[in-house]
Amino acid sequence: MVEPRLIDAYGRIIRKLRLSLTDTCNLRCRYCMPVDAVFMDKQDYLSPQDYEDIVAELIDFGLEELRLTGGEPLLRGAFPEIATRLARLPLRKIGLTTNGILLDRYLDVLQDCRIQSLNISLDSLELNAFQQMTHGHQLARVLENIQKAKERGFQIKINTVMMRGLNDRELLNFVNYSRQLQIEVRFLELMRIGYACQEQTERFISAQELIDRLRPWVTLEPVASPLDSTSFNFVTPCGARLGFIASESQPFCGYCSRWRLSADGIMRACLLKSEGLSLRGLTAAQRQATYQSLLGMKPYRRPAEVSHAMNRIGG
């Protein structure tokens, strides 16, 4: 194992990177981006070689895990090339966060590139609510693709952003879904990022409220999680596996081990800080100096909210 060298003043060690491959998407989730979203110029994207160079360098500094994200990462034309290059690097784990719409087309590539851990967004099991939340109509396709990935042996976690009055009535349906498919479902609190800020008052539901609403119906047995885990987890006697990502009500900044690299090459030390530093066009020596600066840019207390859009940073 490499001696970690990215350690900040609070003793937090950077071991994980969220790598955004594009800011574009084939959905328009109402908590993430507007229907008429404006995207980056594709000419500004990092190239497959850039991704490989940066990640290889960060591995020498102690990086262990990578998660490919976006926007929708499977929309990036160079996805197979980027995944193939990254798969050659000595990483403990490479994961993918996806909305699942294109997943069936990439299962072979993912398997070949040992990308086994899939976080798949699924906000509703009902077509109407799915449409209301995502502005998309591909629910059946996403459900089918989840099933296919499960059959192929991928390790899957479902991400469900809970919004009052939109999908919270489906809480028990998701417990049932987890039990039936033997897949972990994680309920995310609506974060104050970009377009989601305006929905907070009406739609936010805390993880604790969800747990209180579940308790009369299911017994939740706690499961131990690593210190830097974003979720706290439970199993139920009926065999469901549930997680709660309480980034708003119970922030985990004190143990955060992540940086985020946007598709246009801005490295950010925190999802909730607009400020980041560009790595594009830098030499290896300049990038290394930039990493040292970034260590001082990770807030210890959680910023209240941020105006930039989630899809541009890489969720």
Residue 190 binds which entry of ligand SAM, ligand SF4, none, CB below 5-8 Å type-dependent: ligand SAM
Cα 265 to Cα 17: distance, rounded to the nearest angstrom:
13
Contact between 134 and ligand SAM (CB under 6 A)? no
Contact between 262 and ligand SAM (CB under 6 A)? no
The least distance separating ligand SAM from the CB of residue 236, rounded to whole angstroms, comes to 22
Contact between 121 and ligand SAM (CB under 6 A)? yes
Contact between 138 and ligand SAM (CB under 6 A)? no
Of 98 and 167, nearer to ligand SAM (C-beta) is 98
Cβ neighbours for 29, distance < 8 A, ≥ 6 positions apart: 121, 123, 133, 134, 135, 161
Cα 109 to Cα 144: distance, rounded to the nearest angstrom:
18
Contact between 272 and ligand SAM (CB under 6 A)? no
Cβ neighbours for 99, distance < 8 A, ≥ 6 positions apart: 25, 26, 27, 72, 120, 121, 134, 136, 142
Of 69 and 257, nearer to ligand SAM (C-beta) is 69
The least distance separating ligand SF4 from the CB of residue 234, rounded to whole angstroms, comes to 24
How far is C-alpha 187 from the chain's CA centre?
Answer: 13
- Measured CA distances, 261 to 17, 54, 160, 227, 296 (Å): 7, 10, 23, 23, 16
Residue 28 binds which entry of ligand SAM, ligand SF4, none, CB below 5-8 Å type-dependent: ligand SF4
Contact between 193 and ligand SAM (CB under 6 A)? yes
Cα 195 to Cα 230: distance, rounded to the nearest angstrom:
22
Nearest to 263 by CA among 198, 196, 200, 312: 312
Which amino acid type is present at position 14?
I
Binding region for ligand SF4 (CB under 6 A): 25, 27-29, 32-33, 70-72, 99, 121, 311
β-strand pairing of 258-261 with 16-20: parallel
Of 121 and 167, nearer to ligand SF4 (C-beta) is 121
Q: What residue ranges in 111-183 does DSSP mark as E strands?
A: 117-121, 155-161
The least distance separating ligand SAM from the CB of residue 286, rounded to whole angstroms, comes to 29
Of 69 and 231, nearer to ligand SAM (C-beta) is 69
Contact between 66 and ligand SAM (CB under 6 A)? no
Binds ligand SAM by CB under 6 A, chosen from 196, 246, 269, 306: 196
Nearest to 98 by CA among 87, 88, 109, 89: 109
Residue 33 binds which entry of ligand SF4, ligand SAM, none, CB below 5-8 Å type-dependent: ligand SF4
Contact between 191 and ligand SAM (CB under 6 A)? yes
- Chain residues binding ligand SAM by CB under 6 A are 25, 31-32, 69-70, 72, 97-99, 121, 159, 161, 188, 190-191, 193, 196, 310-311, 315
